[in-house]
């Protein structure tokens, strides 16, 4: 699934090169944000849309305050405008899920 999302996003970006304006969907932004956070945190991070909110999930690794710092740093990047808006509106929440 993740490879398919990246390929689709890359294809759309190349198709839009000549148009000057291109908006990446929230789902693609969420996928890319999760991938970036996974790299920084050193654990698999997923973003899922549930009950009108984006829920960040990860197993083990950083505690919630540290993950919030990673999120804040990542959202300063212009690549995630919709995710930043959701976070500022408190529609992107963090959770720490440790599997048994």
Collect the ranges in the chain with pLDDT lower than 50.
Answer: 1-3, 16-17, 20-21, 100
| Distance (Å, whole) CA 32 – CA 12 | 15
Cβ(24)–Cβ(54) below 8 Å:
no
At 94 the pLDDT is 81
> Tokens 């932004």 identify what position?
29
At 8 the pLDDT is 54
At 2 the pLDDT is 47
Cβ(33)–Cβ(54) below 8 Å:
no
At 70 the pLDDT is 92
CA-nearest of 34, 37, 62, 67 to 49 is 34
| pTM for the predicted model, two decimal places | 0.70
Instruction: State whether the Cα torsion 36-39-40-46 is positive or negative.
Output: positive
At 80 the pLDDT is 87
At 97 the pLDDT is 61
């Amino acid at each position: 699934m993740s490879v398919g999302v990246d390929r689709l996003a890359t294809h759309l970006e190349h198709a839009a090169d000549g148009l000057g304006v291109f908006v990446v969907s929230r789902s693609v932004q969420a996928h890319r944000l999760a991938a970036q956070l996974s790299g920084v945190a050193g654990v698999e991070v997923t973003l899922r849309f549930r009950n009108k909110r984006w829920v960040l999930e990860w197993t083990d690794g950083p505690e919630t305050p540290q993950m919030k710092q990673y999120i804040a740093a990542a959202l300063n990047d212009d690549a995630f405008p919709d995710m930043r808006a959701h976070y500022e509106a408190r529609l992107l929440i963090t959770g720490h899920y440790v599997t048994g």
